[in-house]
Amino acid sequence: MPWKQGKIKLADGTIYPAELLIEKGKEVWNVKIQSEGGLVEEIDPDHFAHKLKKSPDDVYPFTYELDN
């Protein structure tokens, strides 16, 4: 299951360049995003939101778009 390049849009409307680990074209298993603070990888939802200086409610649910 390779990482796919794209963009992620968080619940608060912010958009970041991202790499997404996607199973069978739909289910996101993990996300790496580029933020001002560097690379942030989603492992634990609360920790992921905190690294972006956001609350989980500002991050989830998120949407994504893959680069072709």
- Tens-place pLDDT, residues 8-67: 898 999 999 998 888 776 777 788 888 888 888 776 778 888 888 998 889 888 888 888
Question: Which residue type occupies 26?
Answer: K
Q: Where are the alpha helices (DSSP H) in 1-68?
A: 45-51, 56-59
pTM greater than the 0.75 cutoff: no
Q: Which two tokens stand for residue 59?
A: 């991050």
DSSP annotation of 39? E
> Domain ranges in the chain?
3-66
